[in-house]
Structure 1
Amino acid sequence: MAVLGILISAALLLGSASAASLGVVYTEGGMVEGKNIWLGLFRSMDVFKGIPFAAPPGRFEKPKPHPGWDGVLKATEFRKRCLQPNLLQTDTRGSEDCLYLNIWVPQGSKVSTGLPVMVWIYGGAFLVGGSQGANFLDNYLYSGEEIADRGNVIVVTLNYRVSTLGFLSSGDSDAPGNYGLWDQHAAIAWVHRNIAAFGGDPNNITIFGESAGGASVNFQILSPMNKGLIKRAISQSGVALCPWAVNRNPRAFAEEVARKVGCPTDKGMVPCLKITDPVALTLAGHLELTGSPSNPVVNNLVIAPVIDGEFLPEDPSRLFHNAADIDYMAGINDMDAHIFTGFDIPSINQPFQDTPVEDVKTLLTALTKPKGEPAALAAIQEYTLGWGADPPQSEVKKTIVAIETDYIFLVPTQTALYLHTNNANTGRTYSYVFSEPSRLPLYPSWMGADHADDLQYVFGKPFTTPLGYWPRHRDVSGYMIAYWTNFAKTGDPNNGDSKVPVTWPAFTSAGHQFLEINSKMNQDYVKQKLRTRFVYYWTSTFMSFPTVLDSK
């Protein structure tokens, strides 16, 4: 036994000694040094936290290049988030000096070179979020370690400005908006220029993100600003066509913020806002997150990108030609809007409280308001078809979640997939639905995957914290990391270094194929025509009604 112990110790020492490390890396701003984490025999991870990709930003200005630094920058700690409200919107956290990124580089016995690069853009309604994600006992949600190690790719996570400082727009050249999108672009461009020094392939960059981050990914591939920088993209639960993704009347929000902080709403508004306390500005961008059937929360998400004539030259639906050579994967969670419907109609989560059928009609009337009563009646008929005279409560509640999931996520995502495949040259298109049931307790028995439920699996949390998960959760996490990293390598989620459970066919405008992802996957989970009837209602029937009310 003693000899065995000595041999094991020797092997471990040999492994840690033999796993390569980058050491000090030369970047355009200066030298950086991260930490090397030993993972196993001939396996380690170089981790760099808090590398500046731009200078501290000016108020309502595009990011500028970082002036650089002397000596070696110790890149070992996450930097602060960009200034934002706390979750209750009663105080703020973060800093205006926030344009930093983090890099995870997997190493074997030799220093890695030419690795595919995956750049993560976080969600948070363009209001909150940070490059490291939520933290529990130093276990950060957006740690790239599991993806990088299991998929043999470099993972980058970045900060971008959110809330008022990231997205307020005066609707003119004084403060055109989209500062958060410009920050993302600056980080992607920095990665393109510098990632070779970390062992990455600058010509194989995949951007991926969720919710507002998924919409941001879509904006980045549609913008002419990123030409030649991005090879592939993955949008999880969010695209540029979502009803919350573009603010079409930004001036109203800017004037509301100005009034709250005591600034004028005329020509002097932007100069005044630029010298106003940033904490006051951030708190003035308060979003109303209590909804009702007649005023759903989605209609109140006014902090968002704008069509500024530069980053977004025109409506996103007309910019898909810019992504013609970019491989694109997009999908949703099967009950993505459950979190929203819980605010709008709380009774859906109360097992002993009925949800009135009238709430379904009120909600659809609110969502179809721009087209008036005929559109509402058509929608009500569409969603209650097959109910019968006395539908069970579970059916009523599930229908409400389906209505908002269709409107907020599913239909816009399907539309983006159609536009991508119809405009594609070399770019391939893939569609998915994630349906692993939510792990949160107290949820209804009929519950599927809620908004953001996919994140823990993509980032490998069932492996990082195995005691918190069942084996099936490790299965689905392994599947997602395999599909995502194969796609980043080859543009085909089936082909790469990682084995996948089911062959995922490309989405085409003729076949409409998609993959349903969960722990029970087999060939039966390759499907076609995702909720076609409802996609047709929102994209064709609804649009055919004359507009009676400007929605924003």
Structure 2
Amino acid sequence: MAMLGLLVAAAFCLASANAASLGVVLTEGGMVEGKTYSVSGLFRYMDVFLGIPFAAPTKRFEKPEPHPEWSGVLMAKKYKSRCMQMNLLQSGIRGSEDCLYLNIWVPHGRTLSTDLPVMVYLFGGAFLLGGAQGANFLDNYLYDGEQIANRGNVIVVTINYRVGTLGFLSSGDSKAPGNYGLWDQHAGIAWVHRNIKAFGGDPDNITVFGESAGAAGVNFQLISPHNKGLIRRGISQSGVALCPWAINKNPRAFAEQVRPISCILVENCKIYKTVVLCMGSSCMMNCFSDQYPIVHNLVLSPVVDGDFLPDEPGKLFVNAADIDYIAGVNDMDGHIFTGLDVPSVNQPIWPTPVDDAKLLINALTRDKGEQGAEMAYKEYTASWGDKPSKDEIKRTIVELETDYIFLVPTQTALYQHASVAKTGRTYSYLFSQASRMPGFPSWMGADHADDLQYVFGKPFTNLLAYWPRHRDVSDYMISYWTNFAKTGDPNTGESKVPVHWPTFTTSDHQYLDINHKMNSNSVKQKMRLRFVNFWANVYANLPNVRDS
């Protein structure tokens, strides 16, 4: 036994001595040093750099500026603070205005990696909340890039960007044009392009991926002319630039609502230097309206500023003609909103009154008035019959909000990309792995953000919290995502996939249904075509009755 112990110790020391590590890396701002550790797999190691500045501390309501050089070696071993924002309870603030930092995961084998594909992640949070490390439980950060990097043999980067008023408040003119959060994302991507070679990455093979607001951010980055030559591919999970919450078409009106609090935008009071963040209940009423449904409250979002977005997003997809693009949704993405708009949906015993469905439809279709509401109600209740079941009504309401908020805009964006694509390939997916949240009804599918745990490999880091089928789903998604980052084809790369994923074209609209039971039947066509056609064509062509 003593001899065995000595052999094990010797093997460990030998492995440690031979561990591939970048050590100190020279970047444009100076030298940085991260941390190195072994990961699962034979002779597999990971270099991690946390908290590298990619821009200077922000100036309020101004674009990010280059970070001044530092002397000595910067210790990049801890996450930096997220950007300043309201806390989850909306009762105070958290974070810092010195927040433009990024994190990097670099996998190695026996030797140092070179020319690896790079995957840059943009977090979600309705453009109001979030940070590059994600939620944390006992130092298990949601957006830890280790599993993607190791299993897919890619470099993973996560980026901070400004959110809320400091990221997206706009006067609607040149005084405070907005989109500061999008400029932050752009600055981070540009930094990666300039510096990632020193970390073993290929600057000409950058894939930007994100979820929810981060997914819309991906789409905005792909179609903005400012990113020409920086991005090779993009993946949007549950969000695109065409979503109804992704663009604020009347930013001035909202800015004037907060004017009494912050002396803002319309008078000579140096608004963009002295604006006060919304803090406490006395200010919250000025910052967020009490509109129904919840989606209509998401007004701190990007704007058409004539610069980063020189035109309406739908007219800018030509800028992504040579970029490969994956976009998709969770099959019940809208449930997160429906649970707030119609609470009875989550009560398995109590029925949801039909009138609740009518109220929700009236609210969602207010711009088209009574005609739009009547047509939408008829479309979504066509299969009900005289006596719809309790679950049928609840599920229909969730599907309604899923279609309106996520699915239809995503399908429209895919069609837009495919119709202008030159060398860029287009792929569509539906994520349908049922939610693991306790207490949800039996008919529940994948809620908003349910996909994140699988993309970031949590079933492999928290073995006791997941079943083998969950590890299968995680393996599938990491394989498709990282193959795509390598080659532009999710089927081709170092990782084996369960089903061949065909491209989405303007004629057949094929998509992949992702869950733990994947087989040849997982390839489908024309996702919810009837409802996509209703919203994108029939409803869109009705005359407006009010200014939204």
Q: TM class by shorter-chain length?
A: over 0.9
Which SS does the other structure have where 1:174 is aligned? coil
Distance 2:522 2:514 in 1: 7
* Superposed displacement of residue 9, structure 1: 3.3
The residue number in structure 1 matching 2:463 is 466
- Residues 257 and 281 of structure 1 are in contact (CA less than 8 Å); yes or no, is this contact kept in structure 2? no
Distance 1:283 1:472 in 2: 48
The residue number in structure 1 matching 2:127 is 126
Q: Percent identity?
A: 67
The residue number in structure 1 matching 2:244 is 243
- Residues 430 and 512 of structure 2 are in contact (CA less than 8 Å); yes or no, is this contact kept in structure 1? yes
- Residues 123 and 209 of structure 1 are in contact (CA less than 8 Å); yes or no, is this contact kept in structure 2? yes
- Residues 92 and 279 of structure 2 are in contact (CA less than 8 Å); yes or no, is this contact kept in structure 1? no
Matched, 1:230 2:227: no
- CA 1:492–1:423: 2 relative to 1, 3 Å: same
* Superposed displacement of residue 170, structure 1: 0.6
- CA 1:173–1:284: 2 relative to 1, 3 Å: farther
Distance 1:46 1:510 in 2: 45
Q: Within 5 A, what are the aligned runs for 1:506-545?
A: 506-545=503-542
Report the residue type matching 1:191 in the other structure.
V
- CA 1:289–1:105: 2 relative to 1, 3 Å: farther
- CA 1:282–1:458: 2 relative to 1, 3 Å: farther
Which SS does the other structure have where 2:50 is aligned? strand
The residue number in structure 2 matching 1:343 is 340
The residue number in structure 2 matching 1:548 is 545
Which of 394, 402, 421 is the matching residue for 2:391? 394
* Superposed displacement of residue 358, structure 1: 1.4
- CA 1:265–1:157: 2 relative to 1, 3 Å: closer
Map Cα deviations across residues 279-338 of structure 1 (whole Å, 9 max, x no partner): 7599956765976xxx20001110100000000000000000000000000000000010
Which of 389, 408, 413 is the matching residue for 2:410? 413
Q: Within 5 A, what are the aligned runs for 1:104-183?
A: 104-183=105-184
- CA 1:332–1:158: 2 relative to 1, 3 Å: same
Distance 1:485 1:375 in 2: 42
Distance 1:498 1:264 in 2: 52
- Residues 84 and 282 of structure 1 are in contact (CA less than 8 Å); yes or no, is this contact kept in structure 2? no
Alpha-carbon RMSD? 1.6
Distance 2:407 2:284 in 1: 28
The residue number in structure 2 matching 1:493 is 490
Matched, 1:438 2:435: yes
* Superposed displacement of residue 387, structure 1: 0.7
Report the residue type matching 2:238 in the other structure.
S
Report the residue type matching 1:100 in the other structure.
Y
Q: Within 5 A, what are the aligned runs for 1:241-390?
A: 241-261=242-262, 263=263, 266-268=266-268, 271-278=270-277, 280=279, 284=283, 288=288, 295-390=292-387
* Superposed displacement of residue 369, structure 1: 1.2
Map Cα deviations across residues 67-126 of structure 1 (whole Å, 9 max, x no partner): 110000000010000000001111110000000000000011111100000000000000
Distance 1:240 1:346 in 2: 28
Distance 1:337 1:251 in 2: 28
Report the residue type matching 2:472 in the other structure.
D
Distance 2:328 2:43 in 1: 36
The residue number in structure 1 matching 2:28 is 28
Distance 2:289 2:103 in 1: 31
The residue number in structure 2 matching 1:451 is 448
Distance 2:114 2:89 in 1: 44
* Superposed displacement of residue 274, structure 1: 1.6
Report the residue type matching 1:233 in the other structure.
G
Mark the runs of 5 or more structure 2 residues left unpaired by the alignment: none
- Residues 457 and 473 of structure 1 are in contact (CA less than 8 Å); yes or no, is this contact kept in structure 2? yes
Mark the runs of 5 or more structure 1 residues left unpaired by the alignment: none
- TM-score in terms of structure 1 length: 0.97
Distance 2:3 2:501 in 1: 49
Map Cα deviations across residues 463-487 of structure 1 (whole Å, 9 max, x no partner): 0111111111101001000000000
Report the residue type matching 1:201 in the other structure.
D
- Residues 334 and 405 of structure 2 are in contact (CA less than 8 Å); yes or no, is this contact kept in structure 1? yes
Report the residue type matching 1:272 in the other structure.
I
Distance 1:226 1:283 in 2: 40
Which SS does the other structure have where 1:544 is aligned? coil
Distance 1:193 1:330 in 2: 27
Distance 1:210 1:171 in 2: 27
- Residues 60 and 175 of structure 1 are in contact (CA less than 8 Å); yes or no, is this contact kept in structure 2? yes
The residue number in structure 1 matching 2:204 is 203
- Residues 147 and 481 of structure 1 are in contact (CA less than 8 Å); yes or no, is this contact kept in structure 2? yes
* Superposed displacement of residue 454, structure 1: 0.4
The residue number in structure 1 matching 2:91 is 90
Distance 2:154 2:144 in 1: 13
- Residues 259 and 265 of structure 1 are in contact (CA less than 8 Å); yes or no, is this contact kept in structure 2? no
Distance 2:449 2:258 in 1: 29
Report the residue type matching 2:31 in the other structure.
M
- Residues 255 and 264 of structure 2 are in contact (CA less than 8 Å); yes or no, is this contact kept in structure 1? no
- Residues 123 and 130 of structure 2 are in contact (CA less than 8 Å); yes or no, is this contact kept in structure 1? yes
Report the residue type matching 1:116 in the other structure.
P
Report the residue type matching 2:513 in the other structure.
E
Map Cα deviations across residues 22-73 of structure 1 (whole Å, 9 max, x no partner): 0000000000000001225421100000000000011100000001100000
Q: Within 5 A, what are the aligned runs for 1:12-23?
A: 12-23=12-23
The residue number in structure 1 matching 2:476 is 479
Which SS does the other structure have where 1:22 is aligned? coil
- CA 1:283–1:64: 2 relative to 1, 3 Å: farther
- Residues 90 and 280 of structure 2 are in contact (CA less than 8 Å); yes or no, is this contact kept in structure 1? no
* Superposed displacement of residue 15, structure 1: 2.3
* Superposed displacement of residue 544, structure 1: 1.7
- CA 1:73–1:421: 2 relative to 1, 3 Å: same
Which SS does the other structure have where 2:39 is aligned? strand
- TM-score in terms of structure 2 length: 0.97
* Superposed displacement of residue 520, structure 1: 0.9
Give the aligned length.
546
